[in-house]
Structure 1
Amino acid sequence: MEQTQDEHPKGGVASLSVEGVLVGHGRVPKHVQVREYVRGLVREAQPGTAAPSERELVHQFHVARMTVRQAMDSLVAEGLLERIPGRGTFVAHPRRTVGRMRSFTEEMGSRGMLAESQTLLARRETAGPGVARALEMTAGDPVIHWRRLRRADGHPMCVEDAYLNEVLLPGFLQSGMPTSLYEALADRGLRPTWAEDSITADVANADEGRLLEIPAGGPVMRHSRRALAVEKIVEVSRSVYRGDRFTMWVQLGRET
């Protein structure tokens, strides 16, 4: 692969291009191969440098535009690239973070509450399309599904479904379920360093209401997370919190 970086005249932004690259063969999905090639281009580039266009990548890699879009979306989600409407896709400025990611146990402890967990399910499953896409693996690949009822000071707080890439965690199910997932990941050098979260208001279904001890249709907060250790996706989780007992606190800062 030949990597070039060009300066546009008259104060324009720099750009990156890739020449003579073909997608290889094997079980690695094409969008992952494209993503890793582009990652190699942008890793050492200056923030604001224009990334290769989707059209250029489609031509160079001989893949569908949807495949290229999926690869670029992943890099945007990681924070390596950013899209600017009307201009294009560029190497992103480094992420600015405020505070440290905390596990449920740590979060409850910071609020003066004792966290407890009850395992409802822990087994090996095959990844469905949604989980596979979030973990950037192939549908049907093995994942670990760990479902827990989380309590604080003895009261039900949330139901959490965590999905883990079994390839990264050999022997995880056989070694006994840990008290804290993040501590177990830290022991393997995989403690999450940043995450993508989404939060929505909803109502509980019958099963969630039974576990959380609220009526079906009661208010809940749905929290989805994709957690990464540097650039490696280590966890995808979906949690349902009681709307009357949990408040989400978010620290914000401004760029300096």
Structure 2
Amino acid sequence: MPNGVRGLLVLPTLTHVENVLTPGGRALKHEAVREYVRDLVAGRHPGAPAPSERELVSRFGVARMTVRQALDALVAEGLLERVPGRGTFVAPPRRTATPVLSFREEMTARGMVPESQTLALRLEQAGAGVARALSISEGDAVVHWRRLRHADGAAMSVEDVYLNEVLLPGFLQGPVPSSLYDELAGRGLRPTWVEDAIGAGLASDDEARLLGLPVGTAVLRKQRRGLWQEKVIEVSRSVCRADRYMVRVNLGGSD
């Protein structure tokens, strides 16, 4: 936490805020405020003060709730921190987390040769669980991509990934991408943060057949929710061979 105010920020003009636009060309107020504050504090040392809610309300002519939403997003990112009774300040850098890797990148980093076989690639209506995870409405269009993943010629996992079709226009019209994360990166949507949940289960008939296992063999089940900024980009469910797949994460002690 900061030990004191180490200088005041001079608020620049707002001309660049007009560049924060929706696809329809209209600026979202909280996003405009958020990007304005992000630019304002870029490069500032930890503990430097951020503009107050009152200053931002006055400068933008928006509701305090709009300003708070913008600052909340930057706090969640770890760029800012709130000190009760004192204000909002530039946060110290977070510890380095395990990098967000695709299956191909992960296997390559392990010295293995990855391959993927597309089993299905189609447009579907989102069920309740997928819709909730993607923050869309049940019945909305989603891209469902099912793949069998190999490493060094051996089956490693079966993956079902669901993508918000609205964010990926033309995704199904071209050739099948060789890499999902490369395709998302080309659209400026590669996930920068993911939430993985991993548990144990038993292979179903179909899963066992694809993975070359006896039915009922213990497997790892991984669910992933990938986000770019605050947008949920992908939701996936993977069934992994427990005898070949190992999960590695970086953990640190609490302060």
Q: In which range does the TM-score fall when normalised by the shorter chain?
A: 0.5 to 0.7
Specify the alignment match of 1:144 in structure 2: 143
CA displacement, residues 87-122 of structure 1 (integer Å, 9 cap, x when unaligned): xxxxx9986442421100000001110000000000
SS at structure 2 position matched to 1:134: helix
Conservation of the 8 A alpha-carbon contact between 1:98 and 1:253: no
Tell me: CA distance 1:37–1:184, structure 2 relative to 1, closer, same or farther (3 Å). Answer: same
Which sits farther off after the overlay, 129-138 or 170-179? 170-179
TM-score of the superposed pair, with normalisation by structure 1: 0.66
Q: What is residue 133 of structure 1 aligned with on the other side? A: 132
Q: Find the partner of 1:39 among 69, 74, 84.
A: 69
> Which secondary structure state, in structure 2, belongs to the residue aligned with residue 175 of structure 1?
coil
Letter in 1 for 2:157: C
Percent of aligned pairs with the same amino acid:
55
Aligned CA distance change for structure 1 residues 155 and 93 (closer, same or farther; 3 Å): same
Map Cα deviations across residues 130-184 of structure 1 (whole Å, 9 max, x no partner): 0000000000000000000000011000000000000000000111111110000
CA contact (8 A) 1:198 1:224 kept: yes
Residue-pair matches, total? 186
Distance 1:202 1:194, change over 3 A: same
Separation of aligned partners in 2, 1:231 and 1:95: 18
Which residue of the partner structure matches residue 213 of structure 1? 212
Consecutive unaligned residues of structure 1, counting only runs of 5 or more, are 2-15, 17-34, 51-91
**Residue of structure 2 in register with 1:188 after alignment:** 187
Contiguous gaps of at least 5 residues in structure 2:
1-28, 30-52, 54-64, 85-90
For residue 150 of structure 1, give the secondary structure of its aligned residue in structure 2. Answer: strand
Report whether the alignment pairs 1:166 with 2:165.
yes
Partner of 1:119: 118
**Cα contact 2:150–2:157 (8 A) shared by 1:** yes
- So what's the TM-score if we normalise by structure 2? 0.66
Q: Distance in 1 between matches of 2:157 and 2:207?
A: 9
